[in-house]
Amino acid sequence: MTEIDLSPLRAELKKQFRQSMPDAKLDYCLTCGLCASGCPASDIEGMDPRKFIRYLILGQDDVLKKTNWLYTCSICQRCEYACPMGIHVGRFVYALKGMRPIEERPKNLQKSCDLQKQSNSTGIPNADFVWVVGDMLEEVHATEPEWADLQAPMDKVGARFYLNQNAKEPTVEPEEMVFLWKILHAVGIDWTYSSEWWDGANYCLFSGDPKDWEFVTRKQAETVDALGCPTYINTE
């Protein structure tokens, strides 16, 4: 009879998740694959949500700790919506991201998170953001007479809507910002940007550190509160 060596199967993660997330229903998986069928990250880096749960249940902790699939999963939760057993795959993925040592996380992702803790994920100075918005607005006024009264308000206290901005656009493709300004103008929305903490992304969610994520989220929320805007439009 052949002996099977089960020693690599630690199942420490399974025990840990069962304790820290008793409602995450880890053991209910039917292996039906509905999660994988709707997952945009399926098969990237050799993984999908069904396989992820099987590895977890079977105690293949080493595979899970090494897979870079963690960083292709966007924690969109489509799998959880599809799952007949209500299994919270995203919560397991998020927990595992947080366990990965910082030096082993994707460098660009960690860098974006670190920059975001200072202001925004591309690291451009706030003054540059304000200047680019003003410059694009001037260009529209100069070249599109039908939009001569278009506005891109900055730090407007009491505006009805607060609008954040993906930092990539003012940094490398500023003309992309103008489409939304025009839509808001056409429907008569009273809105504003902020000159601080204006970046709508939060890469610290994807790097897996809840403290960093909360820090950035609080900064963004405090900015909206300081301006007194009752509604937050998150473009991300």
List of residues contacting ligand SF4 (CB under 6 A)? 29-35, 39-41, 49-50, 53, 73-79, 82-85, 87, 89-90, 93
Q: What DSSP line would sit under 43-64, residue for residue?
A: TGGG--HHHHHHHHHTT-HHHH
Could you tell me the smallest distance in angstroms from the CB atom of residue 26 to ligand SF4? 9
- For residue 35, the number of C-alpha atoms closer than 13 Å in the C-beta half-sphere is 26
Exposure on the CB side of residue 51, measured as CA atoms within 13 A: 15
What gap in Å lies between CA 92 and CA 97, rounded to an integer? 9
> In this complex, which beta carbon is closest to ligand SF4, that of residue 30 or of residue 102?
30
Question: Considering the complex, what minimum distance in angstroms separates the CB of residue 197 from ligand SF4?
Answer: 27
Whole-angstrom CA distances from 155 to 19, 30, 120, 151, 158 are: 46, 52, 17, 13, 9
Cα end-to-end span (Å), the chain: 57
Our CB check for ligand SF4 shows the closer of 27 and 225 to be 27
Beta carbon nearer to ligand SF4, 28 or 131 = 28
CB of 99 to ligand SF4, least distance (A): 17
At its nearest, how many Å lie between ligand SF4 and the CB of residue 36?
7
In the complex with ligand SF4, the residue whose CB is nearer, 58 or 221, is 58
Output 72 or 171, the one with its CB closest to ligand SF4.
72
Strand ranges across the sheet with 191-192: 191-192, 161-163, 231-233
Distance in Å, CB of 83 to ligand SF4, minimum: 3
